[in-house]
Structure 1
């Protein structure tokens, strides 16, 4: 049994970690760390957790964590993990960061897009990008994991096979992303206020979303050339769920059926990616509460374009579920252990 700490205990990412770890046989939550709420019980804020975790949240104590836990999940805002993870470099503790602090290989790029000082270069160099469908073997041997962002998870899983097999022009990619309000976290803002989001669809961070360089960095690695994308995000009036609908120009003459077969073969060994049959397209409801990514594909022969729809639950495959998937791989457990739940429907 591995002892676990969650740092950043009051956010939606932490709450989802607690829910999913509740059915995990090999991990036990030892501590929940909260900078602003230590000494208080989590059930005061989330009564549905009564009887699942009743110990008071604790203040950060690096030395105690080194002695008492094996795995730390950082469910913190950007700018926190980058200062804490390096303090565990001399220990055996595994660190899995759900924020964007370790995803970008360039300190300069991070500081441009996140407007914060970056992690030490040595920490960035040692962090493995935790997209199992892309880096499974590296994850198995990792000590520090940078968990992918929600939009990049959806976009990369939808685009990687087409890029790798040179089906599309890598310089023609347009990504239309839509997400529920839980992606913005639990803190109320004008952006997520009920009267602003209800019956409304709102584009945001046009040309400035921090997930842009993450998507481009890993697509470029696959293509072995620099790729830039057009990526637009929208906030939509639902709690959880995310969809990326992607468009690109075809480089080869292919049919929808041929591309679907390629994708199904590509993801055959990856338990959480489900590729739809021809004419079937996924919806966010069909992955709600699960670690699945569902993908639908259409080749538009009239316009010589491909359309790829990729859906995930932003809090599960887009955050906490994928973090647990990475922990499973790091510790030699079945990749899907504790994540085998059926999506919640309707």
Structure 2
């Protein structure tokens, strides 16, 4: 086995944050090389996986297995800069529930939703504010992603749209990395299960498989061109402590908050502490038909997009650094 590179903590400039182990696995597949650990500062109880993507050294961190929600993620990101003082930008990368506003916003399983809308907030904590007779009035806004990352988002979006061949787009290219790993290649590939979307008013029938539901309640959507199988959507992301499993409430909240296209549970816990770009692969439709069949694939598409963001971001050297990648000072 090749000897890992060891760099000083000051050489790391990007933080990649996950929640679930399946998200961690997908992120680390995207590393170009793995690095040895560095000594951590007193008070930094995180564990990191360190490595490089393109010209950027990255620190990958997340909460303990089984922990989730805003408190768990705030705990993690609050410690990162104790050790890694040069980390300037972060990405929260993982899975989320989609809001399928078909046909205007044709969100499907495996698509990626990025918290970078042209209009409206990037992340809304929809369950924090004043409880009024007609619902919750959100009274506090969260920080936006770093301006640098929003500029990179535009570059990636342009490259994605300009790709002339399906086998050269960012998802096809980066997802191929899983094929080299015998213990992950089948787990993280696109499921053979049908991508089924049901009417918001139709609840899951207990004790049954979705494939056995009455087809009258399924939303008919045209097949996608294989060259356009995975799409990227830029939208407000709704973050709260509850798992969203109601199609009707999902649609009501989405309409109230800028036609948001994704629900998740952690982003509100870090935007004000460690401003990030939130990248979510869609693994279900935030309704009662929620299951785990698409989680690994959705984590893989989110990690692929995050890799492209980091590859596209221009290298920036700290003052006095002779070699930013190696962390060597003049």
TM-score by length of 1: 0.30
Decide which structure has greater helix share.
1
TM-score by length of 2: 0.32
- Choose between structure 1 and 2 for higher RCO, CA contacts under 8 A separated by at least 6 residues: 2
